[in-house]
Structure formats: C-alpha cells, structure tokens
C-alpha cells in the first residue's frame, strides 16, 4: 500500500530564539563572562507576571547615561528593543528579558561575527534598522497591509505610499540589508521562516534626524572609552558650555546625512555616508555594552566561575552595583589625558572624538603631541618647518577661518584672490559667517618638496565644520601633499594640487607668480604667509588626487571655499618615543648650527675656507651644504 510521509512542524520563533541565543552564549562568551552577565541581569531586573526584564530606566541607570543628554536613553532603549528581537523583526520591540538582552549585547559588541558570516555593511544595516521608524503601507481600499507588500515597495492595489525620502528602486541595497538576518536564520536551518514573513524591508523606513543627533552626541562623549572605564568619568562637569560645544560638533556630523533636504535619513543615504566618511562612528557601542561583562565588584577569590547557561537561572546573589560605583577595588593609576594640555585653538575634545569617526582612536586618544600652532609659534613657513618637519611619524593638520567676501575687503585679500583662477565657484555653505574647518591626515613624515609631492595613498583630506566630510586619496594620481618655500612656486602648504616643474632657465619669479594657482580638482592650498587658504571641490574630475565627496547633498556639487586663516595647528600622532626622536633631531640641528657659528674663517683664501668646511663635514665636495649626518 502507499506510504505516508510526515514531517515535523517547523520550530516556533521562541524555539529559534532560544537556539540562536544558546549558540551566541557558547561561541561568543567565556563561562566567566556569562556568569557576570547573569549576575548583572538578576541584580537589576524587575519582575512582572513571573517574567524578569529590564526597563528603560534600569538600562539608563546601569550604563550611566547622563541626564544632560536628554532623550538619548529613549533612543538607546529603542535600539535594544529592536535588537532583542533579532533576527525576527516582527517581534520587535522585544521585552528585555535575559535572552533578549544577551542578543542585544552580542550584536552591539559585534561578537555575533563569531557565529554569523557577515560583513561590516550588514552590521551597519542592522544598526540602521534599530534606529529607524517604519511606515505602514496602505492599500487603496483603505486596509493596512502592515508592510506585507511582497517586498516591491508598493501597496497591493496601488502605488507607493511609503516615505518620499525612501522610494524603492535599489534592490541590491535591500538585499544587502537582509544579509545579517539571513545569516542568523541559515545558522539555525530556519531560512523558511524568513520567507514566511520575517523579511524586513528598509524601503519604508527612516531614522528621525533628531534621534540620530542625540545618539551622535553620546557617541562623541564615549568615543575614547574602553570596556573597563565608566561613562560617568567622561560625563563629569557637563556644563551648558560643554553641552553646547558637543551639540555643535554633533550637528556638523549630522549634516553629512543631508538632513537639511529631507525629514529623515533613509537606508541608502545612511549606508553611503557611514561607509565613506565615518566608518568608526558606532565603534564606541562595543565598550559601552561590554560593561555587562565586567563587574568591578566581582572577586574570583570568593567564587569560581560558573558555566551556567544564559537561559538558566543562576544562584541568588546580592544586588550588584554598577561597575563605576564599586569601591572594593583600589583606584587605578592616573592615565595620560585624552588631549595634551596646550593652547590649542582648533582641536577641542569633541573635535578629537569627531576625528575618531574616520581615524582609528588608537592613533588619536592619548597619542597626540602638539607640534605647531600659528597663534603660539607664529604664522610663518620657517616656524612651521622647524616645528613640523622633524616629526618622525604621522601628523594631522587643522586649519580654521572665515569666508572671504567675493572681491576682498583689504589689499592682502584682493592680492590673494588675484592668484586664484578667474572662474568663481559657490561656497560650500550658505552661511557667510560660518566657521570653516578643514584638515589633512598625513601618514608619513613631512619633507620639503621641490619637484614632486610627498605622502602616500593613506592620506586623507577632510572637513570638520560646518559639515563633516572626508576625501580619500586616489590611487591613480599622487599629488597628495607639498611643502614649498619661496622661491619655489606655488609657495605654501597644499594637498591635491600638482607642483609645476621649474628649471633654472624658467621665466622670472614675477612672471611665474602672475599665473593663477594650478589648483587640483579636490584640493586644499594655504598661501606662503599662512594667511589665506582655498579648498576646491569638483564633483566630476578626471585627474584628482583625492576622491570627490560621496555625501548626498554634495556628490554632484562643485564648490570652493576661499577663507582667511584664523588658526593653524599640526598635531603629531605618536607617543613618547616619537617625541624623544624629535627632540634628538632638534638638539642635533642646534649643535650643527653652533658648530657653523664657531668656525673662524677670515683667511681671505676662499678655496682654503671651502676646504676647511669640507673637512668638517659641513659642505659637500662641490661646495654645497651637505646637511651633515646624524651618525
């Protein structure tokens, strides 16, 4: 007779959640970390109808979110509610019970990469989902489809009714948005559940700009934090002035997302901006949520680590105080300041944290040395050369100022404008009074340039205010940076512009100086007096050394900022070893200069004097200064 085939019913979503959480617990955490996580959860959990969970107030209290950053706790709790339902968005927002909170910590700290095969873009997509609000797609007949529209972005009986800022049309982006969810479901052999309605579409979603602004302020505040540091340490003395400065920097970062032209940030814009101009924006979420795994009051001498599963109830323990409030441990030795004490006019702590959104924090925090400041050392190329060119490692140049009027208000302004090309491009900002801040990251030591530029493809050109933007070096053209002293032209500092080749038979200095500067398509030039600067951006260049902007409001725009330099700073990236090497080079130069001064020539015999200098090693065999040796 015929045979009947029976198949087991598919597992429930609750069962799949438990299975994924168990995999996370086994592969992403040590038994000690799980034990501490359980203690943290139990000590602060509230209970209702037999369910233990964390409320928004509990989460904010444990993470020590400062009251001065109003509303950021609500944003962070929304993110946790979404990630607690991972990978089933239909279950969001999730109650933050034990397993849900562990899934939150796993995704926020990126430990999920130990289980799920995914790329950084997929993780960013999940962060986007946790921040977004979703629009319901409404059928023509008036019924709500709840977003079940077959994934094509249209209502069942009519046209598109989602947000105008996020109309459908980029299938590749949507597929990439689902990669992390697919990886989680495939790891549990549950891809069918994804096909049955768990697919999350980002086409009908947007991040409210005010919510992202609140989160950016928090990310700026905690950017230097590591897992065993308390957030309260960085929130000390959050005065109105400091909050205003933090908010001003956050607004410059937020402007990258084009919020001036749309009610919120859609998925495509979010992914493009984060991936190109701030790839480390969310890195500080990792140490913030690793606080769940480090309890400072935990003493290994009192109890061995438990291998209790995260899903089981650990033994009853006394209330656990948040990591920062424990007094059982001796105070840690003082650390170096995040930013060395100096008379810096541009680089504030919020600006330093903004730099860490695209330059690794390990290069910046407690690693910067002040090399040059125009306000302290004088605005001259000679002073700049003495202070900067002996630094043996990478450095960061920052320049700030105010926009010039179209025709110049003084003789010096008009003289500078006369050196620029006649074609005038619009400013990057509509605010004539805005403070302009540009900069460059130079990964190699500075050196004088005469015929070719220096630096390599790791060089970055960037703007910090009034809009955050980053221009990466192009591998095809290598006019990355120059330092030119007169009579070499163009004299000054620059990035992205070629140096004209000059021979001794070239036309006179005056004739050459009459020619307009040969500015690169994406370039920054500061004149020889360090008095004026010009930043140029052409959206479609053919020979640029730096890639044009990819920001939504700029990718098709040509602009040029001509501004008066008010502050100019250079910071060396390095520690005590680099500073000591620079001091040795300065000392060697002083000894050489003193040796030159003490040589008593005065014989009247030019050839004898030259031979004496040659024997002393101060000039080469052809009578030119050899520069000596540091031997």
| DSSP-assigned states of every residue in 580-604 | HHHHHHHHHHHHHHHHHHH----SS
Q: For residue 439, what are the domain limits?
A: 367-575
Specify whether 387 is located in the same domain as 288.
no
What is the token pair recorded at 345? 């006019």
Q: Is residue 307 part of a domain?
A: no
CB 296 within 8 A of CB 329: yes
Note whether 491 and 379 are same-domain residues. Answer: yes
At 237, list the tokens.
């003395």
Distance of CA 223 to the CA centre of its chain: 9
Phi and psi at 369, nearest 5°, equal -125, 130
Using left for φ > 0, alpha for ψ between -120 and 50, and beta otherwise, residue 53 falls in beta
**What does each C-alpha distance from 39 to 83, 88, 167, 315 come to in angstroms?**
21, 27, 46, 9
CA gap 629, 337 in Å, rounded = 36
531, 546, 575 - which closes a domain: 575
Asked if residue 566 belongs to a domain, the reply is yes
Are 252 and 381 in the same domain? no
Q: Could you tell me if residue 299 is inside a domain?
A: no
Element (H, E) at 313: none
Contact of 221 with 234, CB cutoff 8 Å: yes
49: in domain: yes
Q: Give the residue from 293, 311, 335 where a domain finishes.
A: 293
Same domain assignment for residues 414 and 554: yes
In this structure, the number of other CB atoms found within 10 A of the CB of residue 13 comes to 16
Task: Please tell me the distance from the alpha carbon of residue 530 to that of residue 379, in angstroms, as a whole number.
Answer: 6
The two structure tokens encoding residue 408 = 């110049």
Q: How far apart, in whole angstroms, are the C-alpha atoms of residue 292 and residue 298?
A: 12
Is 589 among the domain residues?
no
Is the CB of residue 56 less than 8 Å from the CB of residue 77? Answer: yes
Residue 206 lies in a domain: yes
Residue 294 and residue 228: Cα distance in Å, rounded? 7
384 and 270 inside one domain: no
Query: 224: closest CA among 289, 288, 278, 291?
Result: 288
- Maximum Cα–Cα distance across the chain: 125
Residue 381 in domain? yes
Residues belonging to the chain: 631
Q: Flag residues of the chain having pLDDT under 50.
A: 1, 137-176, 196-197, 201-202, 300-309, 311-328, 503-508, 510-512, 622-631
DSSP 235-286: TTT--HHHHHHHHHHHHHHHGGGTGGGSSEE-HHHHHHHHHHH-TTTTTTHH
Check if the beta carbon of residue 15 is closer than 8 Å to that of residue 23: no
Do residues 277 and 381 both lie within one domain? no
Same domain as 79, residue 197: yes
Q: What is the pLDDT of residues 18-53, one digit of tens each?
A: 999 999 999 999 999 999 999 999 999 999 999 999
In the Cβ-directed half-sphere of 225, how many Cα atoms lie within 13 Å? 28
- Report the distance separating Cα 492 and Cα 515, nearest Å: 15
Same domain, 69 and 174: yes
Q: Please tell me whether residue 9 adopts helix, strand or coil conformation.
A: coil
Rounded to 5°, angle at Cα 181 from 176 and 184 = 130
Total H helices, total E strands in the chain? 22, 15
Number of structural domains (the chain) is: 2
DSSP 113: G
Q: Which residue intervals of 499-575 are DSSP H helices? A: 509-513
End residue of a domain, out of 237, 269, 293? 293
3-state class of 399 per DSSP? strand
> 346: closest CA among 379, 374, 381?
374
Query: Shortest CA distance to 570 belongs to which of 560, 559, 562, 582?
Result: 582
Specify if 350 maps to a domain. no
Same domain (yes/no): 176, 65: yes
By DSSP bridging, strand 395-403 and strand 46-48 are unpaired
Co-location of 93 and 177 in the same domain: yes
Residue 134 tokens, joined:
């979703």
Tokens matching residue 422: 């006649």
């Amino acid at each position: 007779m015929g045979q009947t085939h029976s198949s087991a019913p598919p597992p429930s979503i609750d069962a799949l959640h438990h299975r994924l959480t168990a995999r996370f617990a086994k592969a992403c955490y040590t038994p000690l970390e799980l034990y501490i996580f359980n203690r943290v959860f139990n000590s602060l959990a509230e209970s209702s109808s037999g369910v233990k969970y964390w409320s928004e107030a509990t989460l904010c209290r444990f993470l020590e979110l400062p009251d001065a950053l109003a509303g950021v706790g609500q944003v962070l709790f929304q993110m946790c509610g979404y990630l607690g339902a991972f990978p089933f968005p239909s279950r969001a927002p999730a109650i933050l019970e034990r397993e849900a909170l562990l899934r939150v910590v796993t995704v926020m700290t990126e430990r999920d990469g130990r289980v799920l095969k995914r790329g950084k873009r997929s993780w960013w997509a999940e962060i986007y989902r946790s921040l977004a609000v979703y629009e319901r797609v409404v059928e023509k007949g008036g019924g709500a489809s709840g977003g079940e529209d077959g994934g094509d972005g249209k209502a069942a009986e009519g046209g598109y009714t989602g947000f105008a800022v996020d109309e459908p049309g980029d299938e590749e982006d949507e597929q990439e948005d689902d990669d992390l969810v697919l990886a989680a479901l495939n790891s549990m052999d549950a891809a069918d559940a994804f096909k049955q309605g768990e697919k999350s579409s980002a086409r009908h979603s947007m991040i409210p700009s005010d919510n992202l602004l609140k989160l950016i302020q928090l990310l700026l505040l905690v950017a230097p934090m590591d897992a065993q540091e308390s957030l309260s340490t960085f929130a000390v003395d959050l005065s109105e002035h400091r909050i205003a400065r933090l908010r001003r920097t956050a607004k410059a970062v937020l402007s990258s997302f084009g919020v001036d032209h749309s009610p919120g940030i859609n998925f495509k814009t979010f992914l493009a901006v984060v991936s190109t101009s701030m790839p480390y924006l969310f890195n500080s979420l990792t140490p913030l949520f690793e606080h769940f795994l480090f309890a400072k009051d935990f003493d290994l001498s009192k109890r061995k680590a438990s291998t209790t599963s995260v899903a089981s109830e650990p033994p009853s323990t006394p209330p656990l105080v948040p990591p920062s409030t424990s007094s059982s441990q001796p105070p840690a030795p003082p650390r170096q300041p995040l930013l060395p004490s100096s008379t810096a006019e541009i680089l504030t702590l919020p600006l330093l944290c903004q730099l860490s959104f695209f330059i690794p924090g390990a290069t910046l925090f407690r690693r910067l040395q002040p090399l040059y400041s125009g306000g302290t050392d004088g605005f001259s190329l000679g002073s700049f050369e003495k202070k900067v060119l002996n630094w043996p490692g990478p450095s960061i140049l920052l320049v700030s100022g105010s926009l010039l009027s179209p025709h110049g208000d003084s003789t010096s302004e008009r003289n500078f404008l006369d050196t620029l090309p006649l074609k005038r491009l619009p400013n990057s900002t509509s605010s004539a009074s805005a403070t302009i801040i540009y900069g460059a990251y130079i990964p190699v030591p500075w050196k004088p340039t005469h015929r070719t530029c220096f630096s390599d493809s790791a060089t970055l050109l960037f703007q910090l205010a009034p809009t955050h933007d980053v221009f990466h070096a192009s591998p095809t053209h290598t006019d990355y940076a120059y330092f030119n002293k007169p009579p070499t032209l163009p004299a000054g500092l620059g990035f992205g512009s070629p140096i004209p080749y000059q021979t001794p038979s070239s036309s006179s200095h005056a004739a050459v100086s009459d020619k307009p500067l040969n500015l690169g398509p994406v370039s920054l030039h500061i004149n020889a007096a360090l008095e004026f600067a010009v930043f140029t951006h052409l959206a479609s260049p053919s020979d640029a050394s730096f890639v044009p902007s990819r920001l939504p409001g700029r990718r098709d725009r040509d602009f040029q900022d001509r501004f008066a330099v008010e502050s100019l700073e250079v910071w060396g990236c390095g520690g005590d070893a680099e500073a000591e090497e620079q001091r040795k080079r300065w000392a060697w130069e002083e000894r050489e200069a003193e040796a030159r001064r003490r040589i008593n020539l005065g014989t009247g015999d030019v050839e004898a004097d030259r031979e004496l200098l040659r024997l002393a090693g101060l000039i080469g065999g052809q009578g030119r200064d050899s520069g000596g040796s540091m031997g």
